[in-house]
């Protein structure tokens, strides 16, 4: 039951972080007229901060602030790798396949959510007895 609550909190947190990402993406493309790939990178980076706070404190109940700067650094570097994957997939889906950029971002977000949950749950935000970085 506890694991199910954690999954539900993860889905909720991910949804909020993704919505913030999508809103920034839409605003940058539609209102400011920026190129969709540049907008995707900017919106992805803004979502990193929202995601870190929600995942750390709400989803995985990792309330320790000890070495938080190191933990955020790992989270940021991991997300930079995911940004590379996100950008590559956005390019493939939009320019090669011809999908709409927002539809592409939704598909990519759902696909990477599974990878992220494993990394956050098993590595970055492990419980106190198993934690790599508190």
Domains of the chain: which residue ranges?
A: 2-124
| CA proximity to 109, closest of 25, 30, 32, 35 | 25
Q: Are 71 and 133 in contact (CB under 8 A)?
A: yes
Q: Note down pLDDT in tens along the chain; length 134 residues.
A: 556 899 999 999 989 998 999 999 999 999 999 999 999 889 988 999 899 999 999 999 998 888 899 999 999 999 989 989 999 999 999 999 999 999 999 999 889 988 899 999 888 998 654 444 44
Long-range contacts at 50-57 (CB < 8 A, ≥ 24 apart): 50/16, 50/17, 50/20, 50/21, 51/13, 51/14, 51/17, 51/79, 52/76, 54/13, 54/16, 54/17, 55/10, 55/13, 55/17, 55/120, 55/125, 56/125
Nearest to 87 by CA among 43, 26, 29, 119: 43
């Amino acid at each position: 039951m506890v694991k199910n609550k954690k999954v539900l909190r993860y889905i909720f947190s991910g949804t909020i972080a993704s919505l913030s990402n999508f809103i920034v993406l839409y605003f940058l493309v539609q209102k400011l007229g920026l190129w969709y790939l540049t907008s995707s990178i900017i919106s992805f980076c803004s979502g990193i901060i929202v995601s870190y706070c929600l995942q750390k404190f709400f989803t995985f109940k990792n309330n320790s602030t000890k070495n938080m700067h190191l933990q955020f650094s790992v989270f940021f570097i991991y997300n930079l790798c995911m940004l590379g994957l996100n950008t590559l997939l956005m390019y493939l889906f939009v320019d090669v396949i011809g999908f709409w950029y927002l539809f592409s971002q939704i598909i990519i977000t759902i696909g990477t959510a599974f990878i992220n949950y494993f990394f956050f749950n098993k590595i970055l935000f492990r419980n106190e007895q198993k934690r790599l970085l508190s």
